[in-house]
Chains A and B, each alone.
Chain A
């Protein structure tokens, strides 16, 4: 075997190694979804979505937890997106490259690595106790907003950075101010990237359990929140609670609730992909 053949062989081996690595993720996902579907799909019907939690597995539903999750999702979006995008744009477009901005940057990356339960403790002290919001949806959403802010900021910066310089130059050449350039050119051009980041961040928020348990999200609430100061439960807590029950019926319930939760995240990711493609077409 000469050295060319050897290199080809290595090349081939690396290729198959790469394929195998790629497949691991896919196979695991398929196995996981398959397992959950077998356990849970037959349990899903309209009553399961609209019923309250119950001690009887077959009468139990996810209404309050689902509503809680939707509330959390909406409030978190309203709070985190404007703040995160604005901070990202500031860091990328306005801030001077000095010591302060370097410190800011390092801290934002650090924040992205803080375990989520720590955010829960922060939320408990600041939002629940000091701001006396109680164990409310608003306190939960504020806590999750903190949790996903770094992700949104980083995504925004990357997206804004990726806008071709020619667009900026053209805008300035036509006499646009910095604000006009950002609002009318940069943000629309980077919208797809920002949106992808935002939705990935929100998908993470919708699956979080630990910080919400610390903040005081409940396991049993017989009513859906009707305003931001109401108490609430969320799907992951309901799932966790059901999994720890001895009766087999609750395991089916948990699987069914997992399917719903997965559906929510898949739909959100789908929306992200759709908008990204739409935006990309518009800007090319």
Chain B
């Protein structure tokens, strides 16, 4: 009995704590909205959405925003069942997913929120590489290279006759899918004999500690570790481009940069708190995506997203 009372009292205390947290800092400037917004999807987009949700709380403390990280595909699965209001996605929606949405009468709007770039990196002591072409990267990473392309001079004869040590993100990551799709041509298709880690810090350490290394990962990780690694430009068909804010934004750093999306469904935009949140998202995505290590869209593109949203809201009233 004592135990039961104890458990009950803890439950009550925790309930009380929960309420306290939600009610603080009421802001009376704008109309106070209430409700919940549930978001799921890509873990790549998560940091931006989290940042937006965090800031949104200061404006609308009574709107509960929750974000999951089921991955782009997992997110769309819930989105197409109508279980979420918004879906984070690091690629556009696929035909299969569109069909699933149709089946459940879910109409949606796609909004671009930021760019993500992939960086190709070598050790700072590497003096021979100045750039890669997409073909060279493909030659190194395609499945047929496994056990065959093992030395630097197999890629360009003037490069040293030394073993090449490859580093990349784990096969479960969106970054891996994206790289293989952009370079090899088929998502998930890669050689298997490279050092793979879900922890990008391991990759940074690996490349930084090995003169004959080569690796790739999200641009955000490079900006955090600039002093330890050398960034290599990629030939986009016309000229060699290194990923920077500029080149990712104007699309010249191709094919290793991509837009990130959020999807919103038509039933959700009937609720004022969702409209408010998505507007807030687009207004702040530029600054916040930079904060968390991504690259903002040009201002005019954000304006365009807002117009699209406005039209979508009007259409689904």
Contacts and interface: CB of A to CB of B under 8 A. Distances in A.
Contact of A226 (B19, B46, B49, B67): B19
Interface string A236-269: 0000010111111001000000000000000000
Interface string A217-234: 111111111110011000
Main secondary structure of the interface of B (DSSP, over half): helix
Contacts of A230: 18
B21 interface: yes
Nearest to B48: A55
A63 interface: yes
A74 B66 CA distance: 22
A180 interface: no
Contacts of B246: none
B224 A55 contact: no
A177 interface: no
A247 B65 contact: no
A222 B57 contact: yes
B22 A55 contact: no
B224 A247 contact: yes
A272 to B, nearest CB: 16
Interface residues of B, number: 42
A213 B18 contact: no
Interface in B276-299: 288, 291-293
Contacts of B17: 67, 224
Given A55-B50, A55-B54, A246-B293, A222 B65 contact: yes
B68 A219 contact: yes
Contacts of A245: 47
A222 B53 CA distance: 9
B170 to A, nearest CB: 10
A218 B288 contact: no
B198 interface: yes
Contact of A246 (B15, B54, B78, B221): B221
Nearest to A221: B66
A223 B19 CA distance: 8
A54 interface: yes
Nearest to A70: B14
B186 interface: no
Interface in B212-230: 218, 220-221, 223-224
Nearest to A243: B199
B168 to A, nearest CB: 15
Interface string A60-75: 0001000100110010
Given A218-B67, A222-B65, A251-B201, A55 B51 contact: yes
Given A55-B288, A219-B67, A241-B69, A248 B14 contact: no
9 contacts: A52-B54, A218-B68, A220-B49, A222-B53, A223-B21, A224-B14, A243-B199, A246-B223, A251-B201
Given A225-B18, A248-B224, 4 more contacts: A52-B21, A244-B43, A245-B47, A246-B224
